[in-house]
């Protein structure tokens, strides 16, 4: 008689059980990693499209002076960027933008804003002073890029170059970061599909400075429910030297302290991120022994000693 070697039913079941346990442990992390790569790719595409178009317009001297966001998109941005469809602020849904979305906590819902600042819960930036520009009162304008991304754009036709009078800058010298942003965009990488959460499929991008210094930035803030932890726990104040380590400790090696324009963009969009008030570190050292501090309430930026203690908000590299 011939003998056949085979697994018993018990051995097969045990093996399948082990595979199931391993899969249940590794699959969520694998899926999250794939999602984060998608979000990162979306950020790069936006920077390579909207950001580069903004830089070209700035070099040509055409980034400022448009009457509003619609004029800017139709008659300037569209000359540098492939746009498939345009929509006014009353019909943003026609361009695939959701009427509502969630802030970074994934729980707090808000309407898609159409004005930068209007002192309501459904605007991008709730605060400001007489030192900030009047662009806040004008409507946004929507469009769809040829890559399928939907964009809601806000425009500041009077944006200013970076501050150069460095001798005057100190911790008592305030200047307002929103004055340096030429335009800002809320982009959605998958139209009205979920999860419709800021920092995931919905991203934030801004273009600064109307000259050869023009810089485009886009941020993916760390997943964090700001409302539940409070400022005294995971986001307690730290010195500048401790800030970078805090991002590593809380979120891992893929996160860092945002630089000056990234933290400015986050301050400008604090209502979308679920952050209001307080001073936050930028990762940009201004000069020996000092760094830039960003105020999220009114948008003021100052330079302060590295030994000061401020809050930290981390972004994905």
**Calpha distance 280→237 (Å, rounded):** 9
Query: What token pair was written down for 136?
Result: 């806040």
Q: Is the pLDDT of residue 54 over 90?
A: yes
**Calpha distance 300→264 (Å, rounded):** 9
Distances (CA, A) of 142 to 89, 252, 274: 7, 35, 23
pLDDT band at 77 (very low <50, low <70, confident <90, very high): very high
Q: Residues near 136 by Cβ (< 8 Å), separated by ≥ 6?
A: 115, 116, 117, 118, 125, 128
For residue 310, which of 267, 280, 276 has the smallest C-alpha distance? 280
Q: Is the pLDDT of residue 166 over 90?
A: no
Q: Which helix (H) or strand (E) holds 56?
A: helix 52-60
pLDDT band at 62 (very low <50, low <70, confident <90, very high): very high
Q: Where are the domains of the chain?
A: 31-316
pLDDT band at 224 (very low <50, low <70, confident <90, very high): low
pLDDT top residue among 217 and 128:
217
Q: Which helix (H) or strand (E) holds 54?
A: helix 52-60
pLDDT digits (tens, 9 = 90+) for 180-196: 899 999 999 988 788 99
pLDDT digits (tens, 9 = 90+) for 230-275: 443 445 788 998 998 888 888 888 889 999 899 999 988 888 888 7
pLDDT digits (tens, 9 = 90+) for 88-147: 999 999 999 999 999 888 888 999 999 876 556 667 765 555 556 545 568 899 999 999
Alpha-helix runs per DSSP H in 97-239? 226-229
Q: Is the pLDDT of residue 212 over 70?
A: yes
């Amino acid at each position: 008689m011939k003998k056949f070697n085979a697994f018993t039913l018990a051995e097969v079941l045990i093996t399948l059980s082990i595979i199931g346990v391993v899969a249940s442990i590794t699959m969520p992390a694998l899926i999250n990693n794939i999602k984060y790569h998608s979000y990162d790719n979306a950020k790069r595409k936006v920077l390579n499209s909207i950001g580069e178009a903004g830089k070209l317009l700035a070099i040509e001297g055409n980034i400022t002076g448009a009457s509003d966001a619609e004029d800017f998109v139709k008659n300037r941005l569209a000359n540098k960027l492939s746009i498939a469809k345009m929509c006014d602020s009353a019909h943003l849904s026609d361009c695939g933008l959701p009427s509502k979305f969630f802030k970074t906590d994934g729980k707090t819902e808000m309407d898609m804003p159409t004005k930068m600042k209007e002192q309501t819960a459904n605007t991008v930036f709730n605060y400001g002073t007489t030192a900030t520009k009047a662009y806040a009162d004008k409507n946004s304008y929507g469009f769809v890029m040829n890559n399928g991304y939907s964009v809601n754009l806000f425009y500041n036709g009077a944006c200013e170059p970076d501050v150069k009078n460095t001798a005057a800058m100190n911790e008592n010298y305030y200047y307002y970061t929103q004055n340096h942003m030429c335009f800002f965009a809320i982009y959605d990488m998958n139209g009205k599909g979920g999860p419709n959460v800021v920092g995931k499929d919905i991203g934030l991008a801004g273009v600064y400075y109307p000259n050869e210094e023009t810089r485009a930035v886009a941020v993916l803030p760390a997943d964090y429910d700001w409302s539940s932890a409070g400022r005294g726990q995971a986001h307690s104040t730290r010195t500048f030297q401790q800030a970078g380590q805090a991002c590593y400790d809380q979120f891992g090696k893929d996160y860092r302290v945002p630089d000056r324009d990234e933290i400015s963009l986050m301050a400008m969009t604090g209502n979308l991120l679920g952050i209001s008030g307080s001073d936050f570190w930028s990762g940009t050292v201004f000069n020996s022994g000092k760094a830039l501090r960003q105020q999220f309430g009114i948008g003021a930026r100052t330079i302060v000693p590295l030994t000061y203690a401020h809050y930290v908000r981390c972004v994905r590299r």
